[in-house]
Amino acid sequence: MNIGTWEIKEPKFLPDKVEQNGSRFLIANGFMGYRGTMEEFGKNQLVALNMAGLFDKNGDSWRESVNAPNPFYVKVSAGNTELNVLSANISNHEQTLNIKHGIHSRNTVFSVDGANVTVTAERFLSMKRENIAALKYTVSTNKDICLNIETKVDTDIWNIHGNHFTVKDQKDNVLYLETIENKIPVVVYEEVVGATGKNEVSLKAGETFTFVKLCGIYWGEKVAVSAENFKEATSLSFDELLLEHKSVWDSIWNNCDVEIEGDDEAQFAIRYSLYHLNSIAPRNTNKCSIPARGLSGQVYKGAAFWDTEMFMMPFFSFTNADLCKNLAAYRINTIEGAKRKAKEFGFEGAFYAWESHETGDDACTLFNVNDIFTGRPLRTYFKDCQIHVSADVVYGLWEYCRVSGDYSLLFSGGLEMIYQCLYFFYSYAVYKPLSKRFELHNTVGPDEYHERVNNNAFTNRMVKYTADALYNALEYAKENNTAYYEEFCTNHDVSWVENFKENLYVPAPNENQIIEQFDRYFTLEDTDLDTLRSREIMKNEYWGGHGLASNTRILKQADVLMLLNVFRNEYEESVKKANWEFYEPYTEHGSSLSACAYGIVAAGIGMADWAYKYFMKTATVDLTGDTKQYLGDMYIGGTHPAANGGSWNTAVFGFGGVSYTDTTLDISPSLPKHWKNLKFKLLWQGVRLTVSINENEVTVTADKPTNAINVTVNKKEYKF
């Protein structure tokens, strides 16, 4: 694999990398994502055009996101030889992804009966016109040859849990489908310029044959305007569509690029992470969020997790406030699903889905993992005990408000959402009369290996955050929208809020400055990772539940360190250092969410070189493929947008030392020794700032100085 400034290249075809490269070379535009596969591939190579926000359930199988028919399918034969890298002789092959503009290309030289037949293809999903997919396909030869070319929209597609379409009709290059569960209409248009259906083409030596394929994919309400929309797109040439697509990407990079001088590997890794974040985020709707595996397929059912709020939304809040607002509004729009879930488990308020689909109902099952030995489903407690998700949802909304300075969502359901989340926690909490405090029992924290624990420190502190957010949101409403505030207080009992807020137990550092992850964690077996691995009987054993790790101190991922990351301004450096050193040896980093928390905390306590290790682990996760591909016997591969967000968080919050209060942005950097300069953009309360950091100075400039933005640099105050 070769990496340039803005490109990643695979210089030869590796059959065992087809699955991994499908994720690595993904293109997407927020509406749909297409895996990095060859045009001649089929469902066995996990070809997928994954649709954002469209879900379906076939029979008793899991409900999941929908893969649309494959619009880029092309089959070329030269004589009796199919030009397929899986079966034909190839003398050269190169696959490229341009991350600056989201363009996938391939160049393959096939050896056929003494001739070198070269196939080149370039494709993109338009960032300007989200329904449009475009492909330019070229064949050339050094000897006379006869080709047979077939191009179509392939309906025989990869699905994890069953077919999701009924084909209703097909005419005039338009495919009409309907989803199985909710009968949602889907229409796929195809226009091919230069080749249609099956074409026999005779090429002389040195000649080239090129065709362009444009497809339009529409579903739901967009079907009604699809014909007009697609006609407008096809009035433009491939190059014209590509030019406007590039223009959108140029604007995106202008607002979010991170520049690292002195480390080419880190430079590409951070940009690769930001490419994935920007390509999969829903730009034009607030009816869906970002799935845990992006738009790389149906893994984790295409659902949104806490990953979005805690790992991705910080990036968008500081670079693209409108998009971040869409993500926050999605949770407001799905509150009824959260209320239904709370009722299902016997509680009040809003208990948000661990795996959220379009209605907010929980796609998570009670049996998420199969026993590797028996194949039987294992009972897990992700759905019913990871209650911190409701606090994470509040965190996403409230931090968006603080960073952007835009509190308007509070008056269009946001305040209601915060209240209902806290009311859920109030109904869930246990009051201990002897200690006169509220506790949270039977929970699962970020470390999923330890289930049904009491007083997980991260969870309890996040619930306290939710209470603080409600208190502050009510104060904001009282000062800025009196009528709304009074009506809200008339319709909602808030008399319990202060008591719950003040008497909720949050574990504090002990005499050794260590925060116990949950009650009685310190009594668990004190072992190490190598010892635990040596106890495995079979590969891919699940360590959680009643598995290998459950009675030990071994963690799946950052838990207390996640607490110290999110609330990094609340704890002394000595506490952060003590907990980092204590928990780091126990942490498996079995999740891609883990490393960034360790990196941010390490940078904040003067351990920039340790932080760099975790930054690179996070930023290269989709480049290296160095992650778990299976959980038990369940495939969990795909892209890792939470890690992509984590890489930006580590660069900006960790090395850049960025933190903030309601009124002030603070910058106290700590760069790795070999970095000469770190430069990034921040959108802070409506003003776009450019921050440039080297070992000698920090420079901050504003695009439109207002003298109303407070910034401190190494504790020195400035106004912009």
Which residue numbers are catalytic? 448
Edge-to-edge strand order for the sheet containing 32-34?
A: 27-28, 32-34, 49-56, 64-68
Q: What's the token pair of residue 190?
A: 């195809």
Q: What's the token pair of residue 350?
A: 């809003």
Residues contacting residue 200 through CB under 8 Å, at least 6 positions apart: 146, 147, 148, 149
Pairing of strands 115-125, 132-141: antiparallel
Q: Are 414 and 402 in contact (CB under 8 A)?
A: no
Query: What is the distance between the alpha carbons of residues 409 and 78, in angstroms, rounded to a whole number?
Result: 59
Q: Are 399 and 331 in contact (CB under 8 A)?
A: no
Secondary structure in 3-state letters for 111-154: EECCEEEEEEEEEEECCCCCCEEEEEEEEEECCCEEEEEEEEEE
Burial class from Cβ neighbours inside 10 Å (0-12, 13-18, 19+) for residue 2 reads exposed
Q: Are 336 and 344 in contact (CB under 8 A)?
A: no
Query: What is the distance between the alpha carbons of residues 179 and 258, in angstroms, rounded to a whole number?
Result: 41
Fill in the amino acid letter for 19. E
Burial 571-603 (b: 16+ CB within 10 A, else e): beeebbbbbbebbbebbbbbbbbbbbbbbbbbb
Of 68, 532, 632, nearest to 297 by C-alpha is 68
Rg (CA), the chain: 26
Residues contacting residue 403 through CB under 8 Å, at least 6 positions apart: 317, 318, 321, 660, 683, 684, 685
Q: What's the token pair of residue 316?
A: 């968008």
For every residue of 220-265, DSSP letters joined together read GGGGGGHHHHHHHHHTS-HHHHHHHHHHHHHHHHHHH-EEEES-HH
Q: Which residue has the tokens 């070809």?
A: 47
> Residue 432's beta-bridge partner residues?
437
> Residue 172's beta-bridge partner residues?
none
Which helix H or strand E contains 267, and what residues bound it?
A: helix 264-280
What dihedral do alpha carbons 579, 660, 680, 566 form, nearest 10°?
Answer: 30
Q: Are 563 and 461 in contact (CB under 8 A)?
A: yes
Residues contacting residue 434 through CB under 8 Å, at least 6 positions apart: none
Which helix H or strand E contains 186, and what residues bound it?
A: strand 185-193
Which helix H or strand E contains 465, and what residues bound it?
A: helix 457-480
Q: Are 469 and 425 in contact (CB under 8 A)?
A: no
Query: What is the distance between the alpha carbons of residues 433 and 331, in angstroms, rounded to a whole number?
Result: 35
